[in-house]
Chains A and B, each alone.
Chain A
Amino acid sequence: MEGDIANMGQFLGAGLAGVGTGLAALGVGNVAGNYLAGALRNPSAAASQTATLFIGLAFAEALGIFSFLIALLLMFAV
Chain B
Amino acid sequence: MATETAYDGAEETGGLVFHPLDQFIVKPLFGDGPVHWYTPTNVTLWLAIAVLCIAALFIWGTRSRSTIPGRGQSIAELMYGFTHKMVEDITGKEGLKYFPYIMTLFMFILFANYLGLIPMSFSTTSHIAATAVLGFGVFFAVTILGFVLNGPSFLKLFWMSEAPLFLRPIIAVIEIISYFVRPVSHSVRLAGNITAGHAVIKVFAAFAALAAVSPLSVLAITAIYGLEILVCGIQAYVFTILTCVYLKDALHPAH
CB distance from A77 to the nearest CB of B (A): 7
Asked if A76 meets B21 with Cβ closer than 8 Å, knowing A51-B89, A54-B234, A54-B241, the reply is: yes
How many of A's residues come within 8 Å of B, CB to CB? 14
Residues 37-75 of A, flagged 1 when their CB comes within 8 A of B and 0 if not, give: 000000000000001001101100110011011001000
Q: Does B1 belong to the interface (CB within 8 Å)? A: yes
CB distance from B175 to the nearest CB of A (A): 15
Interface size class of B (residues with CB under 8 A): 20 to 34
Query: In the assembled complex, which residues on chain A have CB atoms less than 8 Å from the CB atom of B86?
Result: 51
Q: Of residues 148 to 192 in B, which have CB atoms within 8 Å of A's CB atoms? A: 185, 188-189, 192
Q: Does B193 belong to the interface (CB within 8 Å)? A: yes
Q: Of residues 197 to 255 in B, which have CB atoms within 8 Å of A's CB atoms? A: 234, 237-238, 241-242, 245
A64 and chain B: residue at smallest CB distance: B192
Query: In the assembled complex, which residues on chain B have CB atoms less than 8 Å from the CB atom of A51?
Result: 86, 89-90, 241
A21 and chain B: residue at smallest CB distance: B196
> Which chain B residues have a beta carbon within 8 Å of chain A's beta carbons?
1-3, 6, 21, 86, 89-90, 185, 188-189, 192-193, 195-196, 234, 237-238, 241-242, 245
Query: In the assembled complex, which residues on chain A have CB atoms less than 8 Å from the CB atom of B241?
Result: 51, 54-55, 58
Contacting B237 at CB < 8 Å: which of A54, A62, A66? A54
Query: Across the interface, do A69 and B188 meet the contact criterion of CB distance under 8 Å?
Result: yes
Query: Across the interface, do A54 and B89 meet the contact criterion of CB distance under 8 Å?
Result: no
For A55, A57, A65, A76, the residue with the greatest tally of chain B CB atoms inside 10 Å of its CB is: A65
B2 and chain A: residue at smallest CB distance: A76
CB distance from B85 to the nearest CB of A (A): 10
Query: In the assembled complex, which residues on chain B have CB atoms less than 8 Å from the CB atom of A72?
Result: 1, 21, 195
Query: In the assembled complex, which residues on chain A have CB atoms less than 8 Å from the CB atom of B192?
Result: 65-66, 68-69
CB distance from B218 to the nearest CB of A (A): 25
Query: Across the interface, do B3 and A76 meet the contact criterion of CB distance under 8 Å?
Result: yes
B245 and chain A: residue at smallest CB distance: A55
Nearest 6 CB-CB pairs, A to B? A65-B192, A58-B238, A62-B185, A62-B189, A76-B1, A65-B189
CB distance from A69 to the nearest CB of B (A): 6
Query: In the assembled complex, which residues on chain B have CB atoms less than 8 Å from the CB atom of A61?
Result: 189, 193
Query: In the assembled complex, which residues on chain B have CB atoms less than 8 Å from the CB atom of A62?
Result: 185, 188-189
CB distance from B77 to the nearest CB of A (A): 21
A77 and chain B: residue at smallest CB distance: B1
Asked if A58 meets B189 with Cβ closer than 8 Å, knowing A51-B89, A65-B196, A68-B196, the reply is: yes
Report how far A57 CA is from B245 CA in the complex, Å.
Answer: 14
CB distance from B243 to the nearest CB of A (A): 11
Query: In the assembled complex, which residues on chain A have CB atoms less than 8 Å from the CB atom of B90?
Result: 51
Query: Across the interface, do A65 and B21 meet the contact criterion of CB distance under 8 Å?
Result: no
